[in-house]
């Protein structure tokens, strides 16, 4: 009984353990919460543009002769006349069939493989850098 009384007395007289105060409570524990994302819409990477392609404003003629007549009409020289050509309105993917000089390229439309024509646009083999 005496031992119990001594243990009880020792417990009462011993310093109390420090209680957690508000300074020790962390509500935004970095390891427990996910990282906050950027505000606003997510970044969307643009899809790569087709190459080679005809950009808006490029001439697309049915034949090499039509392309020659178009060039004569633009230069207002002899040899002009009606040319079966159209101006491209939207970027159009093409395949190069053959070249007949820097301003004379036969191309095939990628989305319509049976349609071929001639253009006066110089189309390098590789896409221009920086695009």
Judged against a pLDDT cut of 60, whether residue 130 lies above it is answered with no
- Can you name the residues that pair with 94 across neighbouring β-strands? 109
Query: Which pLDDT tens digit goes with each residue over 9-64?
Result: 666 666 655 555 556 666 666 666 566 666 788 787 776 778 899 999 999 999 99
Query: Which pLDDT tens digit goes with each residue over 76-117?
Result: 998 889 999 999 999 999 999 999 988 899 999 999 999 999
Is 2 part of any domain?
no
**Predicted local confidence at residue 49, as pLDDT:** 77
Phi and psi, residue 37, nearest 5°: -85, 175
The number of folded domains in the chain is: 1
Is 112 part of any domain?
yes
Is 29 part of any domain?
no
> Distance between CA 110 and CA 90 in Å, rounded?
14
What range defines the domain where residue 68 resides?
53-119
> Distance between CA 61 and CA 72 in Å, rounded?
14
Is 98 part of any domain?
yes
> Distance between CA 72 and CA 89 in Å, rounded?
22
Is 47 part of any domain?
no
**Taking a C-beta distance cutoff of 8 angstroms, is the pair 118, 85 a contact?**
no
**Predicted local confidence at residue 125, as pLDDT:** 78
**Predicted local confidence at residue 60, as pLDDT:** 97
Is 75 part of any domain?
yes
Is 79 part of any domain?
yes
Is 33 part of any domain?
no
**Predicted local confidence at residue 45, as pLDDT:** 78
């Amino acid at each position: 009984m005496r031992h119990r009384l001594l243990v009880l007395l020792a417990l009462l007289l011993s310093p109390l353990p420090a209680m957690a105060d508000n300074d020790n409570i962390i509500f935004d524990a970095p390891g427990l919460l996910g990282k906050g994302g950027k505000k606003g819409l997510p970044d969307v990477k643009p899809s790569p543009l087709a190459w080679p392609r005809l950009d808006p404003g490029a001439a697309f003629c049915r034949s090499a002769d039509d392309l020659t007549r178009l060039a004569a009409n633009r230069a207002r020289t002899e040899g002009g006349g009606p040319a079966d050509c159209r101006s491209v309105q939207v970027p159009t993917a093409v395949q190069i069939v053959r070249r007949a000089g820097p301003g004379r390229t036969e191309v095939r439309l990628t989305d319509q493989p049976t349609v071929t024509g001639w253009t006066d646009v110089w189309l390098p083999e590789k896409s221009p850098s920086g695009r």
